């Protein structure tokens, strides 16, 4: 019985592989025919100059590599700030303060209900000239505010998913609010 099941499973895997390769072949053929009918001559020989530049016998990163590095910097800094914005907003939403809850809710509703591109344009073209913020900082701040609003809901839902009995058990053991919120070392 086991041998037959193994044989059927291996046959099924091979059928899936053949189907996948057939799909790739059909898609490749469709793309080849579609681009051929465009009548456009693709000039791939021009691409390397945008990846690597050669000057004075040394290699320097081209504009595409420079853009990639800046993208990594914006993403890394935006991720760190998004974590902070998200955590602060989640804690404000869970607080007993009416002002804190209102500010957090207002931030979430405004940021989550507008597209990222609109926020980027608004921050860069409206707010940045008034405050003297540069383009890099505008990009980082916009990304951090946008992602922070979603991260705050993740943090908040994680905190509220802990059953009330778990909190009461921690308090009955004499743990304060900060000690009961911390993860114990393993």
When pLDDT is cut at 50, 70 and 90, the band that residue 5 belongs to is low
CA distances from 80 to 73, 74, 85, 95 (A): 11, 10, 9, 23
Q: pLDDT, tens digit, for every residue of 20-33?
A: 999 999 999 998 88
Length in residues, the chain: 186
Domain 63-181 has CATH 1.10.3720.10: yes
Give the CA diameter of the chain.
77
Average pLDDT of the chain is 88
Q: pLDDT, tens digit, for every residue of 36-56?
A: 778 788 788 888 989 998 888
| Domain regions of the chain by residue span | 8-41, 63-181
Alpha helices, DSSP H, located in the chain: 2-38, 48-51, 63-94, 98-112, 116-122, 128-131, 135-160, 164-172, 177-181
Residue 36 φ then ψ, to 5°: -65, -35
Which of 88-92, 154-158, 163-167 is least confident?
Answer: 163-167
User: What pTM was computed for the model?
Assistant: 0.70
């Amino acid at each position: 019985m086991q041998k037959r099941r193994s044989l059927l499973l291996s046959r099924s895997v091979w059928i899936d592989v053949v189907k996948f390769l057939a799909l790739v072949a059909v898609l490749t053929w469709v793309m080849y025919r579609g681009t051929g009918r465009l009548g456009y001559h693709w000039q791939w020989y021009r691409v390397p100059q945008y990846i690597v530049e050669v000057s004075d016998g040394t290699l320097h990163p081209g504009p595409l590599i420079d853009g990639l590095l800046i993208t990594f910097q914006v993403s890394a800094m935006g991720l760190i700030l998004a974590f902070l914005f998200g955590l602060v907003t989640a804690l404000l939403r869970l607080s007993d303060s009416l002002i804190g809850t209102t500010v957090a809710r207002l931030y979430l509703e405004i940021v989550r209900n507008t597209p990222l591109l609109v926020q980027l344009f608004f921050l860069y073209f409206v707010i940045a000239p008034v405050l003297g913020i540069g383009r890099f900082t505008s990009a980082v701040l916009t990304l951090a505010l946008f992602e922070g609003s979603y991260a705050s809901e993740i943090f908040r839902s994680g905190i509220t998913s802990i059953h009330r009995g778990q909190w009461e058990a921690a308090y009955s053991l004499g743990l304060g609010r900060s000690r009961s919120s911390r993860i114990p070392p393993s």
